[in-house]
Each structure stands twice: as C-alpha cells, then as structure tokens.
Structure 1
Amino acid sequence: MDLANMKPNEVRSLIRKGELVQPTSGMCKGHIQANLVIVHKDLAFDFLLFAQRNPKPCPILDVTDVGDPEPKLMAKGADLRFDIPKYRVYKHGELVDEVTDIEKYWTDDLVAFLLGCSFSFESAMLNASIPVRHIEDNHNVPMYITNIETEPAGKFHGKMVVSMRPIPHQQIVRAVQATSRFPQVHGAPVHIGDPSIIGIKDIDKPDFGDASVIKEGEVPVFWACGVTPQSIAMTSKPDLMITHSPGYMFICDPMDEDLAVL
C-alpha cells in the first residue's frame, strides 16, 4: 500500500478495521497529524487552560463536544474511539492498557482534544531537502522527558516531552526556518545541541519511540512534543486520561499548509 499518497479517510478506514497498526509518520503526505488527549468533563477546563498556557507542546487543533467522539473541525465523520492505530489508557498516573480501540473505555462525559504534532511539519522539512531520520530508517521518532517545566494549570503540571531529529549542522538554520512556519504543530525547536542541558542523560535511550542514529556532522535538534500530556498524566495522576500511543497519531483532513503562518 502506498500509505504516503493515500487520503486520510482511506487510511482511517484501514485503521478502524484493524488492518493498519503502525506508527503514522510519513502517511498521507501533506496532511495534518494530531496527538490525542481524552479526559472527563470535570477536568476538561483544566486541560484546556493547561494547553493554552503551554502552546509549544500542546497546540490545540480541535476539541470535541462532551460525549461526542467526532472531531468536527479536523475530520468530519471520523470517530476518535477507533481511528487511531494504538491508544494508551492512564489511570491515576499509571499506564494500565494499550489498545487498538477505546470503545470499552468511552463514556458520555468524556471530552477529546486533538493537539498539533511535529509529524505535520516533516513534509516541509523534506521539501526543503532536510533529512528526517526516523522516516529514512522506518522507525518511530525518539522522544524524551526533559527537565523543562510546563506552566501548571488546575490539576495539570509536569515536565515537557521533546522529539529529536538529527540535522546536518549546515542545515540547522533551514530546519528552524521550515518548522517556524507551523506554530500550531510545535513550530521552531526548543533546543539545539547538548541533550544534557535539557535533562536528557542518554540520547540513545529515549523515553518513548526508538533511538535514531546521529551521524558524523549531525546535531540533535529537539522540538516540543505532543506526548507531553502523557508525562503530565504520570505526574498529575488524573483518574483517567486516554491518549494516542507515541508515534501512532490521528490523521486529519486539512493539509499542513493550512496551518502555515508565513
């Protein structure tokens, strides 16, 4: 299957049928991909405020009506209970399940948030002839819990998660320029170079995803990551938070360029 050139509704249909369970980087080239967070209605305002205060890791693309799994702005007719390849379920800060649909967990008091994902700006990087290692090597992007504190809001607090891409040193400025055009999908990097400055002890041991090879002449570049809410779930310990599994995103109908600001 030519997943890179398929339409989002076609790929979502395969996912809903259980025929496609793999990381979504590189699928539906040019279309927005999104992170997922689902919480009970009584925590929805707290999370909305948390996202508003932390737009780099948690840029909001869509919020569902209470009890409604359809993301009407990002994909009319889609169903967030089934249309993501893999989900994680956190209860009181503990990861209790990883599943391919969340039908058994869905209740009529849940609110879902779709957050911008850095997979969306990878098309711009590739168009600028900037290599994206995890696409080249066909593995999940490496993600790390940092020492960068998020701005707390209500129940939610904790450390920022970042994703990393090795960039040839002569292309770093171009990578910053390419991704800065997309603030709704994390925008410019939050750190370039020495991982220890942001609390990463071993670049070869990501907290989520798979390690990427950093070649001679390349520099690790770090972007804020929409997996941050999973770090927040572990520290804030809400009674329930449902997320996507890292790297297994929701594919939206709009194009990446629809979010470009320059």
Structure 2
Amino acid sequence: MQHITATDTQLASAREVRAAARAGVIAPTSGLAHGLVQANLISVPADWAYDVLLYSQRNPQPCPVLEVLDAGATESRLAPGSDLRTDIPKYRVWRHGELTEEVSDASSAWEEHPDLVSFLIGCSFTFEAGLVDAGIEIRHQTLGRNVPMYRTNRDCVPAGRLSGELVVSMRPIAADRVADAVQISGRYPAVHGAPVHIGSPAGLGITDLLAPEFGDAPELRDGEVPVFWACGVTPQAAIMASKPPFALTHAPGYMFVTDVPDANYAR
C-alpha cells in the first residue's frame, strides 16, 4: 500500500456515512465518501474462520481480503473508532444457510457469538470513483438504485467446508468506453479489478438481466454493453450452498465505508 492519507473532507464524509448507519439510516452506499475504500463484511464463529480465509485465498478476485479482525473484535483498523456492529446500513443474519433476518444493528450477533471473526472484503464501489472521474456514468447512481448483482454458472474453488458459485455485479457501459472501464478498474485488483465478463449475460448463465438476485433491476440504453465484475457478495452464495450454523454479512449494496483512500490499493 502507498499509505496515502485521506483528506479532512473525505474523513468527515466517511464518518458521516458510518454515523448515519449507526443512527439507523438505511441506504445503499454507492457514490458515498468519494475516493475512499468500501468493503463487504462476512463474520463467522471462530471455528469457521479458517474456512473463510482459505476460500478467500483460493478465490481472490471475488473475495479480496482487506482485513481480518481478531475473534470478538469490532473496530476496523481501516477506520479507527468504527464499530462493525452498527456502522453498516444493513446486515443479513444467516442460520444454516438460510437468511433469517435483515437488521440495521448487528450487536446481538456478537452477544450470541462472542468469538465472531470478521473479514472485510474489497468492493467494486471503490473503483466506481475512478470511473466517475473519467466521465463514465454509473447508472445505478444516476437512478438512485442499488447495483444489480447476479449468481452465475461459474463455480468458485472449494475450500474446507465452503463451496459456491461466483456472484457478479453489472454496470451498463457505453461501447466506446468499455476499454476505459476495463483499464481503470484493472488498476484495483484488491477491490475485484478488471471485469470477469463483457457482453452477453448468457455467457455467465444469467437468463434475465432485468431480474438480478441481489440489488435493483438495471436500465440499459442503446449503444451500451453489460459489463460484469466479480462481486463481494460471493461469500453469501457460499453461505447459502454450504450452510454454516451461523454467519453475519452486510446486505448487498450496503457497505462498510473506510477511511482509506482508493489510491492505497491502486496498482
């Protein structure tokens, strides 16, 4: 990492996002705290932590690990003073592979499982800032929607007790800007990097682009191409397939906003 320091304005913005989440405000985080890294969350009891770590190591594009917290810890080093129990706008609680509830405060998860080990995983919302700065529209931001995300027919590499398929996010990109989008996102391998697929959704086993499994339906316009990136919701697909007794995750599109500038993860 280059260890570039966030500006006072950026830090204030990130802290405002986390404070709003802590106060119960529920909204997708795409486009918020411009220029700062956002992260996916998966927290599991300590006896499942090695499986998650190994799964992430074997599938680095969809599961790029930014930080692993000690068992029971809730403050991220990527955002001093933060609290993973409250600072994400919406969480998902999983039991035996089933989504049992969505909450805006996950404190009870640590009360139930004091040994939770939390993983912060890179998010494509991070490189969206670079796309915007280059004049590439992020359609879900324009429309005030959540990014569309899809389960695919591509299996991830199994690890320990975990297996599942790749999940992707999609952004419609004007055909003459696709190469730019590939180049810009490719500078950030720690937050999924370059696209995994460009063009026909059928190549990923996606039968209906307007019916994503996660997020909101997209809007494609004439002259645009669907571009797909590996997504940090992939661990949630592994939870559904592998059915650990308990897991806590962010809700797709509702991320943990850190104090770390995007440039620290640029290649």
Query: Which TM-score applies when normalising by structure 2?
Result: 0.94
| Root mean square deviation of aligned Cα | 1.3
SS at match of 2:28: coil
Asked whether the equivalents of residues 4 and 27 of structure 1 are also in contact (C-alpha less than 8 Å), the reply is no
Query: Is 1:54 paired with 2:59?
Result: yes
Task: Give, in whole Å, the separation in 1 of the partners of 2:240 and 2:215.
Answer: 17
Task: Give, in whole Å, the separation in 2 of the partners of 1:69 and 1:11.
Answer: 17
Asked whether the equivalents of residues 6 and 27 of structure 1 are also in contact (C-alpha less than 8 Å), the reply is no
Equivalent positions of 1:195-214 (< 5 A) are: 195-214=201-220
Task: Give, in whole Å, the separation in 2 of the partners of 1:62 and 1:253.
Answer: 13
SS at match of 2:38: strand
**Partner of 1:223 in structure 2?**
229
Task: Give, in whole Å, the separation in 2 of the partners of 1:24 and 1:162.
Answer: 17
**Partner of 2:158 in structure 1?**
152
Query: Is 1:100 paired with 2:104?
Result: yes
Asked whether the equivalents of residues 97 and 242 of structure 2 are also in contact (C-alpha less than 8 Å), the reply is yes
* Structure 2 counterpart of 1:89, one-letter code: V
**Partner of 2:23 in structure 1?**
17
Deviations 1:62-91 (A, max 9, x none): 11111111112x111211000000000111
**Aligned equivalent of 1:120, options 123, 126, 129:** 126
**Partner of 1:90 in structure 2?**
94
Give the unaligned 5+ runs of structure 2. Answer: 1-8
**Partner of 2:70 in structure 1?**
65
Query: Is 1:180 paired with 2:178?
Result: no
Task: Give, in whole Å, the separation in 1 of the partners of 2:81 and 2:45.
Answer: 22
Task: Give, in whole Å, the separation in 2 of the partners of 1:187 and 1:194.
Answer: 20
Moved >3 Å (runs of 4+): 3-6
Task: Give, in whole Å, the separation in 2 of the partners of 1:5 and 1:113.
Answer: 22
Give the Å deviation of 1:252: 0.4
SS at match of 1:7: helix
How many residues matched? Answer: 257
Task: Give, in whole Å, the separation in 2 of the partners of 1:32 and 1:245.
Answer: 17
Task: Give, in whole Å, the separation in 2 of the partners of 1:82 and 1:191.
Answer: 35
SS at match of 1:80: coil
Task: Give, in whole Å, the separation in 1 of the partners of 2:65 and 2:216.
Answer: 26
**Partner of 1:259 in structure 2?**
265
Query: Which TM-score applies when normalising by structure 1?
Result: 0.96
Task: Give, in whole Å, the separation in 1 of the partners of 2:217 and 2:10.
Answer: 23
Task: Give, in whole Å, the separation in 1 of the partners of 2:92 and 2:46.
Answer: 19
Identity of aligned residues (%): 53
Deviations 1:159-188 (A, max 9, x none): 010000000111110000000000000000
The change in CA–CA distance for 1:83 and 1:228 in structure 2 (over 3 A counts) is same
Task: Give, in whole Å, the separation in 1 of the partners of 2:129 and 2:165.
Answer: 28
**Partner of 1:77 in structure 2?**
81
Query: Is 1:133 paired with 2:163?
Result: no
**Partner of 2:47 in structure 1?**
42
Task: Give, in whole Å, the separation in 2 of the partners of 1:219 and 1:27.
Answer: 25
Task: Give, in whole Å, the separation in 1 of the partners of 2:140 and 2:11.
Answer: 18
Give the Å deviation of 1:108: 1.8
Asked whether the equivalents of residues 4 and 26 of structure 1 are also in contact (C-alpha less than 8 Å), the reply is no
Asked whether the equivalents of residues 64 and 113 of structure 1 are also in contact (C-alpha less than 8 Å), the reply is yes
Give the Å deviation of 1:10: 2.2
